[in-house]
């Protein structure tokens, strides 16, 4: 029997916003639907670290009063969302997925939450992640292993694993993630939802626990491309509390979502087309065909230095994370999970010269990426080489006995665009033979999020809906 709230939970933010504005649904009822959903799914999923039920109900009543009084604030007014637990929330536990910050309650909000709260969003809670965002499995030793809604024995990806799992399990209408080596796009790819890493500096990092200052991006994880655009409309823009945030003009990111892509030029990144699983290869080829069918000209491009992006991303992240964690590593190293502590120990061995060289090399990779774009509008690549690995799986062997490091095989698709800081979106392309989500990335010029979203939206409409995960079908 279908649950009473199922229909409410089936709408994306775009549809909910219209219904809330028209007073066809109530923020109070909607929030109760999401809290009920969390209650029913999260023991299995472990997407949440903290559920802020009382605050959510209070905010929902306030939103209802305002909307009834004709004071509708916009598409996020009355929308229940979740924040990755790296995002500061005043007076609410912000753990970073760690034991070290298990009791930490910030004295202020991060800018992203300040803007979403001002837009009328309702906070359902704080979402689980890989400890301190330093890893891509979200197998968190302190707060539980986050599970993939399509298969509970598989990882959701990470580090924003809870943010993507909650979207796909329908236990949040929209969420915030962060991306330093792929932590928005990887979980979106493995869980089957949309993850947008905006241009570096497009969204303020103020009040977001850093992993690597010069490589951290904050962005939306959502059910649809339109939702990602709506969320970016709220969170993008200069922030005086983040001196690195850009003063580049913020456009209406929904403006081009219904524009055709016929005549646009799209380049497939050659360096990211090898060593794909057969399912990924087939799904990506079909996506490229679909883009051609929509009238885009698709050809192949090359970014020769791209294979060194993993080294650049690794060295910069190692060095910066080690500085950020220096004090805790000196006083309580035993409180880190083994994998994160080891990464921080490696970081302590990175010479200053290697760090500076890696930073300089970023300009080389970006220059080549811009050359590859040339007169093209966007680039495309698979979201990952494989579908979601099993929890604990680190190597995968083929029939010839050859093996690949599955986690490195996932990271190499996303790290390059953290190195270059370009906007990149992960969007589902279908399901594998094992019924696991597969994904494509669309990458644009710096600050050309609107174009990336335009192509993603056209593809999403042509692709049609994906089958829901078993967790939803079971109710």
Partner 1 sequence: MPLVTPETVKRTLKDLYDYDIDESSASRVANTAGAMLTLAEQLGSLGLDGIEPPFGYANLMTEAMRKAAKR
Residues that bind partner 1 (CB under 8 A): 214, 240-241, 243-244, 305, 308, 311-312, 314-315, 318, 326, 329-330, 333, 342, 345-346, 348-351, 354, 356-364
36: tokens are 């009920």
> Residue 330 CB, nearest distance to partner 1 (Å)?
6
The one catalytic residue among 171, 183, 204, 439:
183
Is 84 designated active site? yes
Q: Which is nearer to partner 1, 6 or 345 (by Cβ)?
A: 345
**In contact, 473 and 282? CB cutoff 8 Å:** no
Q: Which is nearer to partner 1, 327 or 399 (by Cβ)?
A: 327
Q: Which is nearer to partner 1, 109 or 227 (by Cβ)?
A: 109
The one catalytic residue among 14, 26, 59, 84:
84
Contacts of 41 (CB under 8 A, 6+ apart): 47, 169, 171, 471
Q: What is the dihedral of CA 226, 74, 33, 130, to 10 degrees?
A: 60
> Residue 349 CB, nearest distance to partner 1 (Å)?
4
Query: Burial letters for 70-94: b for 16+ Cβ neighbours within 10 Å, e otherwise?
Result: eebeebbbbbbbbbbbbbbbeebbb
Measured distance CA(225)–CA(195) in Å, rounded: 9
> Residue 208 CB, nearest distance to partner 1 (Å)?
17
> Residue 249 CB, nearest distance to partner 1 (Å)?
18
163: tokens are 């943010």
Q: Which is nearer to partner 1, 253 or 318 (by Cβ)?
A: 318
The one catalytic residue among 26, 138, 139, 159:
159
Measured distance CA(81)–CA(84) in Å, rounded: 10
Query: Burial letters for 236-264: b for 16+ Cβ neighbours within 10 Å, e otherwise?
Result: bbebeebeebbeeebeebbebbeeebeeb
**In contact, 165 and 149? CB cutoff 8 Å:** yes
Report the alpha-carbon angle 157-8-54, nearest 5: 75
Q: Which is nearer to partner 1, 77 or 130 (by Cβ)?
A: 130
| Nearest of 46, 103, 112 to residue 81 by alpha carbon | 112
Q: Which is nearer to partner 1, 71 or 357 (by Cβ)?
A: 357
> Residue 142 CB, nearest distance to partner 1 (Å)?
20
**Residue 369: CA count within 13 A, CB half-sphere:** 27
Q: Is the peptide bond before 33 cis (omega within 30 degrees of 0)?
A: no
> Residue 416 CB, nearest distance to partner 1 (Å)?
13
Enumerate the active-site residues.
84, 159, 183
């Amino acid at each position: 029997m279908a649950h009473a709230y199922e229909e409410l939970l089936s709408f994306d933010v775009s549809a909910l916003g219209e219904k809330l504005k028209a007073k066809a649904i109530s923020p109070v009822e909607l929030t109760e639907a999401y809290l009920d959903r969390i209650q029913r799914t999260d023991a299995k999923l472990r997407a949440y670290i903290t559920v802020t039920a009382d605050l959510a109900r209070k905010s929902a009543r306030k939103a209802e009063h305002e909307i009834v009084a004709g004071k509708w604030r916009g598409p996020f007014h009355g929308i229940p969302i979740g924040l990755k637990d790296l995002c500061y929330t005043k007076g609410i536990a912000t753990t970073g997925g760690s034991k070290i910050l298990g009791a930490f309650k910030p004295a202020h909000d991060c800018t992203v939450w300040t803007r979403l709260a001002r837009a009328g969003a309702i906070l359902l809670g704080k979402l689980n992640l890989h400890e301190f965002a330093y890893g891509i499995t979200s197998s968190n030793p302190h707060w539980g292993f986050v599970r993939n809604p399509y298969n509970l024995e598989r990882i959701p990806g990470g580090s924003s694993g809870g943010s993507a799992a909650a979207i796909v399990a329908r236990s949040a209408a929209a969420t915030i993630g962060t991306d330093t080596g792929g932590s928005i796009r990887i979980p979106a790819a493995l869980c089957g939802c949309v993850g947008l890493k905006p241009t570096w500096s497009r969204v303020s990092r103020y009040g977001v626990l850093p992993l690597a200052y010069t490589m951290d991006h904050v962005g939306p994880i959502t059910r649809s491309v339109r939702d990602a655009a709506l969320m970016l409309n709220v969170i993008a823009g200069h922030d005086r509390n983040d001196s690195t945030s850009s003063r580049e003009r913020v456009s209406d990111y929904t403006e081009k979502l219904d524009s055709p892509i016929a005549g646009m030029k799209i380049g497939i990144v050659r360096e990211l087309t090898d060593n794909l699983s057969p399912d990924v290869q087939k799904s990506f080829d079909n996506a490229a065909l679909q883009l051609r069918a929509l009238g885009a000209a698709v050809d192949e491009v090359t970014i020769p230095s791209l294979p060194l992006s993993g080294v650049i991303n690794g060295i910069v992240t190692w060095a910066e994370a080690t500085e950020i964690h220096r004090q805790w590593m000196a006083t309580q190293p035993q409180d880190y999970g083994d994998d994160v502590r080891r990464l921080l120990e490696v970081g302590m061995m990175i010479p200053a010269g290697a760090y500076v060289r890696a930073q300089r090399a970023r300009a080389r990779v970006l220059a080549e990426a811009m050359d590859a774009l040339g007169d093209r509008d966007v680039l495309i690549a698979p979201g990952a080489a494989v579908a979601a690995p099993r929890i604990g799986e680190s190597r995968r062997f083929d029939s010839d006995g050859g093996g690949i490091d599955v986690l490195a095989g996932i990271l190499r698709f996303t790290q390059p665009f953290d190195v270059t800081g370009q906007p990149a979106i992960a969007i589902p392309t279908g399901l594998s033979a094992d019924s696991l989500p597969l994904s494509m990335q669309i990458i644009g010029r710096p600050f050309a999020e609107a174009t990336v979203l335009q192509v993603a939206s056209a593809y999403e409409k042509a692709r049609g809906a994906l089958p829901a995960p078993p967790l939803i079908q079971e109710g």
